[in-house]
């Protein structure tokens, strides 16, 4: 699988410097000819790369990320080891995106994919009022909050964790439903749901208490209804050094103190 490598790089200086170094040491092919794509950048660049695959802008291939950003949770470190050998020895992790289907207050419909999470966020100084249906059944008649999200295991250590949501191992096959600054019910902690569960949100008084829906970084404003489901048919593959596998990183985040 490591015979033909393509490469993509963030426009930021560390990624461009790594691109020059690696391009002088290895013969990369066009991405549509590659068996694996090497992505140079940070977690944000990895998300954009995966979204470009889902949207058909670049071919869907396993991705071996190399961290030239800040946190690099979804990336491998830059090392002097032979790149082809690293890719050949890498552990493959399959991740499935969420599908966000939205209806806006003026009746327009849109849909987007999310690798990490789908978030509903208040647009104004007024709290949002949102009802939640889970698997076709009413779960919360009214959540008064700054927002609420559905997060994947891969995204559970990102915004979800910052909002107080649970860390989900990749093998758990679960989704996190996490409130953002809930006012009523005041101490509602959210829920952990089977991954095949459809979650439907209805914004109450959407003209006055406007709410935006965000799939990773793609925002739709003034939404009235949002449906979130896991899209198992669009799985993507990330490659990790055996000692830096994503499932192990997620588990170890439960012990992080900094």
Provide the annotated binding site for NAD(+). Answer: 43-44, 48, 116-117, 126, 146, 154, 157-162
Are the beta carbons of 69 and 99 closer than 8 angstroms? no
**Would you call 208 a catalytic residue per the annotation?**
no
**CA 130 to CA 206: how far, in whole Å?**
9
Are the beta carbons of 147 and 119 closer than 8 angstroms? yes
Q: Which of 32, 43, 208, 241 is catalytic?
A: 43
Question: Can you give the three-state secondary structure of 206-230, one letter per residue?
Answer: CCCCCEEEEECCEEECCEEEEEEEE
Are the beta carbons of 148 and 132 closer than 8 angstroms? yes
177 DSSP β-pair partners: 150, 191
**CB proximity list for 39: less than 8 A, separation 6 or greater:** 7, 8, 9, 45, 46, 49, 63, 64, 65, 66, 75
**CA 110 to CA 24: how far, in whole Å?**
43
**CB proximity list for 21: less than 8 A, separation 6 or greater:** none
Q: How far is Cα of residue 103 from the mean position of the Cα atoms in its chain? A: 21
3-state secondary structure of 157: coil
Active site members: 43
């Amino acid at each position: 699988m490591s015979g033909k490598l393509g490469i993509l790089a963030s426009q930021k200086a560390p990624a461009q410097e790594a691109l020059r170094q690696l391009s002088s040491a290895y013969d990369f092919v066009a991405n549509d000819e590659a068996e694996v794509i090497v992505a140079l950048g940070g977690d944000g660049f990895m998300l954009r790369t995966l979204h470009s695959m889902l949207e058909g802008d670049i071919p869907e291939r396993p991705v071996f990320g190399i961290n030239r950003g800040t946190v690099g949770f979804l990336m491998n470190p830059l090392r002097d080891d032979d790149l082809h050998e690293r890719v050949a020895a890498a552990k493959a992790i399959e991740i499935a995106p969420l599908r966000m289907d939205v209806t806006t207050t003026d009746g327009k419909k849109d849909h987007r994919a999310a690798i990490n999470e789908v978030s509903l966020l208040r647009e104004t100084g007024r709290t949002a009022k949102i009802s939640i249906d889970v698997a076709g059944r009413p779960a919360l008649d009214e959540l008064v909050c700054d927002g609420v999200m559905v997060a994947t295991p891969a995204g559970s250590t990102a915004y979800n964790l910052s909002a107080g949501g649970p860390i989900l191992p990749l093998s758990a096959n679960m989704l996190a439903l996490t409130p953002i600054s809930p006012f009523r019910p005041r101490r509602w902690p959210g829920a952990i749901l089977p991954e095949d569960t459809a979650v439907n949100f209805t914004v109450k008084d959407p003209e006055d208490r406007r709410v935006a829906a965000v799939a990773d970084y793609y925002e739709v404003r003034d939404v009235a209804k949002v449906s979130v489901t896991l899209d198992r048919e669009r799985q993507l593959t990330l490659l990790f050094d055996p000692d830096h596998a994503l499932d192990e990183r997620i588990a170890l985040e439960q012990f992080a103190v900094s």
